[in-house]
């Protein structure tokens, strides 16, 4: 069998990530590769760090993209801030809180779990009780925007509670960065990690992180060596730290960093508050259309993410069959449920470049067509008018939580 150049199909990506990448970002990625210690590339690295500080709303010096996906950003936070024997309070209300717990165990720490139902936010009262019961705890870890369920937790309140009990905070912001308010300095978050493939709409493969000075001091004062050589901040920051000159640590993914730089420029040009408002407004239109069709959401409206919508699959409808037909007939990708929600929900993403009116209407039209063909109990013809009525109301205002 002969092989040739791979030509990717053109899809509309409305799953939990990756999201659609703009032609402008793809073009940036195709620029000439230069050396990762080239003065021009080093200057771009400095700009990139400033753009990330804007996205995170922080002045933290220790802000940079880890040269690996969001899971490596998570591991960067845990391996640097958790030492053997440390107690860490871990909030689990979906898949990714569970991954935090696994990281604690692999670092030799003791995980104290605060558990909430999938689809619910982290309960601050439970967290406060756990902090009081475990005064020895060094870290509180939670997911701001739980990608497996579409639930948003109150990061500001949880961070305040942790600091009242002298705990550092590790926050998973993989799905929140660029989509909903995330204010690292104002809320006092100590360590935060994200991904490029969600609301930033860059290709997957990088994980932006930021560490407060308080967290950086914890890293510097460790008694045990960081268990990962590659992710040891004491070493990595010889490459990403300072301004101008860099010490060799690893060969950075040069062209992927071009793409992230461009994606962050696009975010800054739009403005964070405008981006938050756009995600909220297009979610409102999608919600109106889905509910008019007869579908329902897993997460209560007060805690629902605009950029990640978990929708209950109607009784008797085959999850995989619907997603398969959407992909084959409409080149439209939506996501399946994970863990406890597998086979029970679809996860529909409205992230970054993919969060636009065309995609909302195309998703509603396509989903209605497939469900109608399969004889699902929906209100045919109601979705588009409901969504368009929301669009005609204007852009709305940015979310504030």
What is the gyration radius of the CA atoms in the chain, in angstroms? 21
Please, what are the domains in the chain? Answer: 23-268 (3.40.640.10), 271-391 (3.90.1150.10)
Give the integer Cα–Cα distance in Å for 296 and 41.
Answer: 48
- Give the per-residue pLDDT at 245: 67
Structure tokens at 383: 């979705």
Task: Say whether 62 sits in a helix, a strand or coil.
Answer: strand
Give the integer Cα–Cα distance in Å for 169 and 171.
Answer: 6
Structure tokens at 137: 């705890």
Q: What are phi and psi of 369, to 5 degrees?
A: -60, -45
Give the integer Cα–Cα distance in Å for 21 and 287.
Answer: 23
DSSP string, 323-379: HHHHHHHH-EE-EEP-GGGTTTEEEEE--GGG-SHHHHHHHHHHHHHHHHHTT----
Give the integer Cα–Cα distance in Å for 338 and 346.
Answer: 9
Instruction: Check whether the bond before 394 is cis (ω within 30° of 0).
Output: no
Task: Say whether 183 sits in a helix, a strand or coil.
Answer: coil
Helix or strand run (H / E) with residue 210: strand 207-211
Structure tokens at 53: 């500080």
The pTM score is: 0.95
Below-50 pLDDT ranges, the chain: 396-401
β-bridge partners, 29: none
pLDDT tens digits for 16-59? 999 999 999 999 999 999 999 999 999 999 999 999 999 999 99
Closest CA to 352 of 117, 21, 112, 86: 21
DSSP string, 259-289: HHHHHHHHHHHH-HHHHHHHHHHHHHHHHHH
- Give the per-residue pLDDT at 247: 83
Residue 293 DSSP code? H
Q: How many CB atoms lie within 10 A of CB 9?
A: 6
Task: Say whether 13 sits in a helix, a strand or coil.
Answer: strand
Place of tokens 């109601």: 382
Closest CA to 16 of 372, 357, 376, 311: 311
Q: Positive or negative CA dihedral for 217, 220, 221, 227?
A: positive
Give the integer Cα–Cα distance in Å for 66 and 73.
Answer: 6
Cβ-proximal residues to 185 (8 Å cutoff; 6+ apart), any chain? 57, 58, 59, 60
């Amino acid at each position: 069998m002969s092989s040739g150049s791979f030509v990717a199909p053109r899809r509309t990506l409305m799953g939990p990530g990756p999201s659609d990448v703009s032609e402008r970002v793809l073009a940036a990625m195709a620029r000439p590769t230069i050396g990762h210690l080239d003065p021009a590339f080093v200057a771009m690295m400095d700009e990139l760090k400033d753009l990330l500080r804007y996205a995170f709303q922080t002045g933290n010096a220790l802000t940079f993209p880890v040269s690996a996906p969001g899971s490596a950003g998570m591991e960067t936070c845990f391996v640097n801030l958790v030492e053997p024997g440390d107690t860490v309070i871990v909030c689990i209300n979906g898949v990714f809180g569970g991954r935090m717990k696994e990281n604690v165990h692999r670092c030799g720490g003791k995980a104290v779990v605060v558990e909430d139902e999938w689809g619910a936010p982290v309960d601050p009262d439970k967290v406060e009780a756990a902090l009081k019961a475990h005064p020895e705890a060094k870290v509180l870890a939670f997911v701001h925007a739980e990608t497996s369920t579409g639930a948003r937790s109150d990061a500001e309140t949880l961070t305040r509670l942790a600091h009242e009990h002298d705990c550092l905070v590790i926050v998973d912001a993989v799905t929140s960065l660029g989509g909903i308010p995330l204010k690292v300095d104002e809320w006092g978050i100590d360590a935060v990690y994200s991904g490029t493939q969600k609301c930033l709409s860059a290709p997957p493969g990088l994980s932006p992180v930021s560490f407060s000075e308080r967290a950086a001091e914890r890293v510097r004062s460790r008694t045990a060596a960081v268990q990962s050589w590659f992710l040891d901040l004491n070493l990595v920051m010889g490459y990403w730290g300072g301004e101008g000159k860099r010490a060799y640590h690893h060969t950075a993914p040069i062209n992927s960093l071009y793409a992230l730089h461009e994606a962050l420029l696009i975010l800054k040009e739009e403005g964070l508050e405008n981006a938050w408002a756009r995600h909220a407004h297009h979610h409102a239109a999608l919600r109106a259309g889905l509910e008019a069709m007869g579908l329902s959401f897993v997460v209560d409206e007060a805690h629902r993410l605009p950029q990640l919508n978990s929708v209950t699959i109607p009784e008797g409808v085959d999850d995989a069959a619907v997603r398969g037909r959407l992909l084959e007939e409409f080149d439209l990708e939506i996501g399946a449920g994970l863990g406890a929600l597998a086979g029970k929900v679809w996860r529909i993403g409205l992230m970054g470049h993919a969060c636009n009116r065309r995609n909302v209407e195309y998703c509603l039209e396509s989903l209605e067509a497939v469900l109608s063909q399969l004889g699902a109990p929906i209100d045919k013809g109601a979705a588009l008018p409901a969504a368009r009525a929301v669009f005609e109301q204007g852009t709305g205002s940015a979310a504030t939580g």
